[in-house]
Structure 1
Amino acid sequence: MEANTEWIIREIIESDNKELENVLISVMIEFKVPKKGTALRDPELKKMSDAYNHSNSIYYVIERGGKIFGGAGISPLKNSKENICELQKMYFLSDARGIGLGKKMIKRCIKKARKYKYDKCYIETMYNMKLAQKLYLSEGFNYIDKPMGYTGHSSCPVWMIKHL
């Protein structure tokens, strides 16, 4: 890959599905995410473009040189009576970490959440994802003491919210 190849953040397309599934799974395995009660069991991993192809949802991928390095998206928080979106499946391969792409991705997702008129943005994560938590805090997320909605991610013990 050429050194000057630019990073691109763009909306997911159907042809991204298989490569993105592999990226997301490999990052979750790298961080020792439990198989039960986490995104590793989400059926939409196989068809991410379909999972975010509905109202008030969007998923972005990070690409460089034609290769996908990660992504993140928002979708309505499942089983919530409030007007809340969830920042979902934000995972990057190591080459895409620590260079500001996470911050750009969050900003893009939050901008879209505001456009969709959400009141809050919720995220669940793992204890050992300390750098991700630091990033979320720097972008205005705060810890909360219990989960919201019902995501099916019972093994994610860290919950955060951002008021939009």
Structure 2
Amino acid sequence: MTSAWKIRPIQPRDDAAVASIIRTVMPEFGATGDGFAINDPEVDWMQRAYSLPRSAYFVVDLGGKVVGGGGVAPLLGGEEDTCELRKMYFLRTIRGQGVGSAMLLRCLEAARAFGFRQCYLETLSGMNDAIRLYERHGFKRIGAPRGRTGHGGCNTFYLLEL
């Protein structure tokens, strides 16, 4: 099935939809409680959070409805040249249509434009489709977390040389 989805920068009117997506998808993978992005205060004001320097968040728009998103921002507590792929989640209805790959490429394009030389991400070992996506795009698993993301619940870490 081909959908008429498009990727665009987040707008203030998208905040509630993005928060709802994050709070819907993360529990599907057991990512609830302390140590997960679901509890980040920025989940309720994503557009403002990603309007900071060297940060960008994009949404997947399907017929005027936001069905997913993903972004990049400097890795807190990390090297100046390292960004973090952040809060990339999609509703079940849009998965399997190439959206994840397109979003990942858009985020990496933004990261390169911001001058980052590495992209870091954290995920959960049970997010197998996401892990396959990251590995297909060249991310290499690393043994320990980097920076201070505040996501102590994550147990799988990746890095990509940009």
Alignment TM class, shorter chain as reference: over 0.9
Instruction: Give the paired residue count.
Output: 162
**Partner of 1:35: helix, strand, or coil?**
coil
- Residue identity opposite 2:36 in structure 1: T
Query: When the two structures are superposed, what TM-score results if normalisation uses the length of structure 2?
Result: 0.96
From 25, 30, 39, the equivalent of 1:41 is: 39
Structure 1: 5+ residue stretches without partners: none
Q: Percent identity between the aligned chains?
A: 40
- Residue identity opposite 1:97 in structure 2: R
Q: Distance in 2 between matches of 1:5 and 1:153?
A: 33
Runs of 4+ in 1 over 4 A off after TM superposition: none
Q: Distance in 1 between matches of 2:3 and 2:144?
A: 42
Indicate if the aligned counterparts of 1:141 and 1:162 stay in contact, CA closer than 8 A.
Answer: yes
Task: Report whether the alignment pairs 1:12 with 2:15.
Answer: no
**Partner of 2:45: helix, strand, or coil?**
helix
**Partner of 1:86: helix, strand, or coil?**
strand
Give 2:68's aligned residue. 70
**Partner of 2:60: helix, strand, or coil?**
strand
**Partner of 1:33: helix, strand, or coil?**
coil
What is the RMSD computed on CA atoms of the aligned residues? 1.2
Deviations 1:9-57 (A, max 9, x none): 0000000011110111100112211311010110000000011011110
Q: Distance in 1 between matches of 2:155 and 2:107?
A: 22
Q: Distance in 2 between matches of 1:75 and 1:153?
A: 15
